[in-house]
């Protein structure tokens, strides 16, 4: 199972579409949808999610296009 992270800004108008795209991708891959979400600037977020814009999807630490 890949590690998937969604990084977003709460005011970003594209976050809902990113979530929809994630659901669609998991469905096509026939695996259970599971990802972690981190707000930009979240002090609790791991180092791997810092420095990205909104929305960004990381799969196993690699940036994917939304």
Rounded Cα gap, residues 30 and 33, in angstroms: 9
pLDDT band for position 53 (cuts 50, 70, 90):
very high
Mean pLDDT of the chain: 92
47 alpha carbon, distance to own chain's centre:
14
CB 9 within 8 A of CB 52: no
DSSP 52: -
Predicted local confidence at residue 66, as pLDDT? 58
| Residue recorded with tokens 């979530």 | 19
Rounded Cα gap, residues 52 and 35, in angstroms: 17
Please indicate, yes or no, whether the overall pTM of this predicted structure exceeds 0.75: yes
Q: Where are the alpha helices (DSSP H) in 1-66?
A: 15-29
């Amino acid at each position: 199972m890949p590690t998937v992270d969604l990084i977003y800004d709460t005011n970003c108008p594209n976050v809902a579409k990113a979530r929809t795209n994630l659901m669609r991708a998991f469905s096509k891959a026939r695996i259970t949808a599971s990802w972690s979400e981190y707000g930009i600037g979240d002090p609790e977020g791991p180092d791997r999610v810092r420095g990205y814009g909104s929305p960004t999807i990381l799969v196993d630490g690699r940036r994917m296009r939304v």
